[in-house]
Structure 1
């Protein structure tokens, strides 16, 4: 995790200036997520980066706890939050395990474009299940490294050697779905906007 934190701290300024590659897909993910939200909900987003998505969702829920391993990312996020006058987001540096988060305290957990960057996805999904209230939802989008082009699968290790890419976890669509089901989730919605990526809304049983 130490190496990952250093990578994202260094990347933060450039990341903050980067544009969304597929705006149409991003907007659809936002809309689907907000269809589930309720005004009294407490939401957790882990791997929130510079907080852009949390700030878009903030008007639709009661409160958002947004976390990231990178202090630099969160510094940028909090400046953006203050500039926008948003008061119902709190940013915290750490991981799902290191932060003092109470079981069954969230109505929704968001893990967006982050799961494939984690070393132990199973532990993370189990922790998400624990943090959700019965009937709560886990909204996730992730790259499926096992299903991207062979060229990229060869390039990633090379880029990692020169510190141009972070750690990535390799799993397929079926592998990811199995992880969710094994953790006790039921799938409400599954959408693959393109080969090599997936968006899922999974629900904890009541």
Structure 2
């Protein structure tokens, strides 16, 4: 199987040029995400890709850090700087920060692409301030019917020739249970662009009013 960073480096230019598959669903979930963010928030986005979502949300918060495993994705994202009225930066990393505290952590199109989802969710929990939000959009391929079963069946062949990254398959119910097992309370969830499951979860505690 192709190395993860290598796969996304090769895909970066095509990814940037591609159109959003379901613009209405994207705009809806972007609006939902924005409703949970405050002007005083410090935000981390994991697997930010070429930074398109970061550029839209960063002006609404105090600081915004986008990270991605792919240097090519981050190169394209940095090409979109500066963003007016935003404290926005991009870093290359395949894991979560060792230290820091964030009021919101976003992870879109990410958890189905890593084998250690549970470890990363636990780390997200530790990095969030009490009352902070964990917002994700994740492909859930189990239990989605014949179309997605057939798509899943051909992925191993694509992986053998370097045309697909690692993929983990789970259901929406299994994903939500993993979020709860990490200690979060799910605030809202739904399918707005099948097979993606949008989840907003909250770390228990009282949010800072600073």
What corresponds to 1:39 in structure 2?
39
What corresponds to 1:101 in structure 2?
99
Q: How many residues align?
A: 202
Instruction: Determine the C-alpha separation between the residues in 1 that align with 2:176 and 2:24.
Output: 24
What corresponds to 1:168 in structure 2?
167
Instruction: Determine the C-alpha separation between the residues in 2 that align with 1:21 and 1:80.
Output: 22
Instruction: Determine the C-alpha separation between the residues in 2 that align with 1:140 and 1:46.
Output: 10
Instruction: Determine the C-alpha separation between the residues in 2 that align with 1:3 and 1:191.
Output: 32
Instruction: Determine the C-alpha separation between the residues in 2 that align with 1:47 and 1:129.
Output: 17
What corresponds to 2:177 in structure 1?
178
RMSD after superposition: 1.6
Query: Mapping of 1:56-75 within 5 angstroms?
Result: 56-75=56-75
SS in 1 for 2:167: coil
Q: Which runs of structure 1 show a deviation greater than 3 angstroms over 4 or more consecutive aligned residues? A: 84-87
User: How big is the shift at 1:145?
Assistant: 2.2
5+ long unaligned stretches in structure 2: 206-210
* Conserved? CA contact 2:25–2:193, under 8 Å: no
Distance 1:147 1:196, change over 3 A: farther
SS in 2 for 1:128: helix
| TM-score, structure 1 as length reference | 0.93
Instruction: Determine the C-alpha separation between the residues in 2 that align with 1:170 and 1:146.
Output: 6
What corresponds to 1:13 in structure 2?
13
Instruction: Determine the C-alpha separation between the residues in 2 that align with 1:116 and 1:177.
Output: 13
Distance 1:62 1:128, change over 3 A: same
5+ long unaligned stretches in structure 1: none
Q: Deviations over 1:69-126 (max 9, x none)?
A: 00110000000123x55641111111334x4432xx1000000111111111001100
Distance 1:52 1:194, change over 3 A: closer
SS in 2 for 1:177: helix
| TM-score, structure 2 as length reference | 0.91
Query: Mapping of 1:1-206 within 5 angstroms?
Result: 3-82=3-82, 84-85=83-84, 87-97=86-96, 99-102=97-100, 105-148=101-144, 149-206=148-205
* Conserved? CA contact 1:55–1:86, under 8 Å: no
Q: Which has the higher contact order (CA 8 A, sep 6+)?
A: 2
